[in-house]
Each structure stands twice: as structure tokens, then as C-alpha cells.
Amino acid sequence: MLRSRVSSIVHPQVFTSIRYYSTKRRELDAVIFDVDGTLIDTVDYHAKSWYDALQHYNIKCNLPDVRMQIGKAADQLLPVFATEEQIKKYAEEIKARKARLFQDNYLEKVRPFPGVRELFEMIKKRNVRIALASSAQQDELELYKDIAKVSDLVDCQTSSNSKDVKRSKPYPDIFLAAMKLLKNARNDRVVVIGDTPWDAQAALAAKLKIAGVLCGGFEEKLLRESGCQWIYPDILGLTKNYDTLTNDILKS
């Protein structure tokens, strides 16, 4: 009799608890975003700036080939086109000239892709942390956050000149530094969002899953071959499919 009475009191509470936990949405620990070509429309501008800077120092290249290297910082981009001697002699001058060309000719034209802030707001409402991991310099990254109107929504960030980053993408240093800043985030509960094969290769080297977006102009086939498990046309497409992406990651 006593057991039956206790059961009638306790069991509804237990069942309520079970229902709560079974219907609660599972979330990622964090989302790590690349910036150029992923959140803001800059790939062509960077390509033209690098091309003009390289041409000024008589370094042979063509614009399509330079564009294909965007997503790397100077440490990985310059060796594709310049000799060791040219790098030793001109690297700092080339980087400075490229930065000036970009700032003088293109910075005022830079715009975020549609839906960036809305996606960030949705992620933050779910108590998922957001990190930026960019091949840009730190001061450039601050400008880009303002342009994308997400400065107040970013939990942490790494750039090509962060102290823990010795090599830029396609090496994993930038993503490993981001994971270190995120603290206690599990690799299997984090996704990288990027637009280049260099993002994909760096993410895989860091043992992270990556979803690609096509708004940076790189071909879907190339992104898949480089390691992107999911591909979306742009940020709006990612937002629309964010729940499915989360579920896929957490069950894999």
C-alpha cells in the first residue's frame, strides 16, 4: 500500500524529467567561422591586391592562380609564386604593398554576405559559442567584425599573427588556437565553416569537421575533395539547414 502511494507521487515527476531530457534540443559546443569569403565578400579584392603587389616586384603570376590561393596568409601564399631569394628580399615590402592596395582600393567596397548577423544571433540564442579563425591580421579582423556587425556576438578569435599561430592555413595552427581559446569544447561537438580548400585541409588536420559555403567562389567539387562533408550555397543556406547540420554532427 505504501509502495503504491509512493509510486503514484514519484513516478509522474520521473516521467516529467524523462520527457524534458528527451525533447531538449542537443547543441554543439561551438562553431568556428572563417571570415574572408565566408562571412564577408572579399576574395576577389584580396586576389587583385595580391596580384598587383606581386606584379610590381616582377613576380610571375596570373590572377586566376592567385585567386585560388586566397585563404592562405602571406607565409603560405608567397612561396607558390616567388623564389626563396625574392621572398627573402621583398616579402615584407610585398605584404605592405598588398595591404595598402586593399585598403586604398577595396576596403570601402567590402560587404557582409546576407544573413550573417542573423545566423550569429540564432547560434548565440542556443548558448553555442562562436569563434573566428582567419588568415587576416588582427587589425583587419577587427574591421571585418565591424563590417559584418558581429563584434558583440563573437566569443573568441584567432588570426594569422596570433601568438599561437606559427603557420597559416592549410596548416591547422589557427583552428588549434581557436580550440584552445574555446576551452572544454570537444572536437566532435564543434564544426568549422569555411569557403576554401585551405579551410578544409586545416580543419581536418586539426581533427575538426567542416561545412563549406560556396559564396567565396570555390567549386563544390574542390571543397568536397578537400574534406567538406556538408556544402551550402551561402550563409542563408547554412542558416536554413543549421538544425540538420547540428544533428548530423552530433550523431556521427
pLDDT tens per residue across span 189-199: 999 999 999 99
Structure-model confidence comparison of residues 177 and 24, the more confident one: 177
Q: What is the pLDDT of residue 28?
A: 98
- Tens-digit pLDDT profile for residues 115-172: 999 999 999 999 999 999 999 989 999 999 999 999 999 999 999 888 889 999 999 9
Q: Is the pLDDT of residue 224 over 70?
A: yes
Reference 139, options 157, 154, 112, 127; nearest CA is 157
Phi-psi domain of 130 (left: phi exceeds 0; alpha: psi -120 through 50; beta: other): beta
Which of 33-42, 159-168, 207-216 has the lowest average pLDDT?
159-168
Superfamily of domain 30-42+111-251: HAD superfamily/HAD-like (3.40.50.1000)
For the entire predicted model, the pTM comes to 0.89
Q: What is the pLDDT of residue 3?
A: 44
Q: Is the pLDDT of residue 12 over 50?
A: no
Averaged pLDDT for residues 95-118: 98
Q: What is the pLDDT of residue 24?
A: 59
- For domain 44-109, the question of CATH label 1.10.150 is answered with yes
Which residue spans of the chain are classified as CATH 3.40.50.1000? Answer: 30-42+111-251
d(Cα 245, Cα 192) in Å, to the nearest integer?
11
Helices marked H in the chain: 2-23, 43-56, 63-68, 74-81, 84-105, 116-125, 138-148, 173-182, 197-205, 220-226, 235-240, 242-251
- Mean pLDDT score across all residues of the chain: 91
Total residue length of the chain: 252
Q: Is the pLDDT of residue 6 over 50?
A: no
Q: What is the pLDDT of residue 148?
A: 97
Q: What is the pLDDT of residue 164?
A: 82
d(Cα 182, Cα 241) in Å, to the nearest integer?
24
Q: Are 190 and 210 in contact (CB under 8 A)?
A: no
Q: What is the pLDDT of residue 111?
A: 98
Share of the chain above pLDDT 90, in %: 85
Q: Is the pLDDT of residue 2 over 60?
A: no
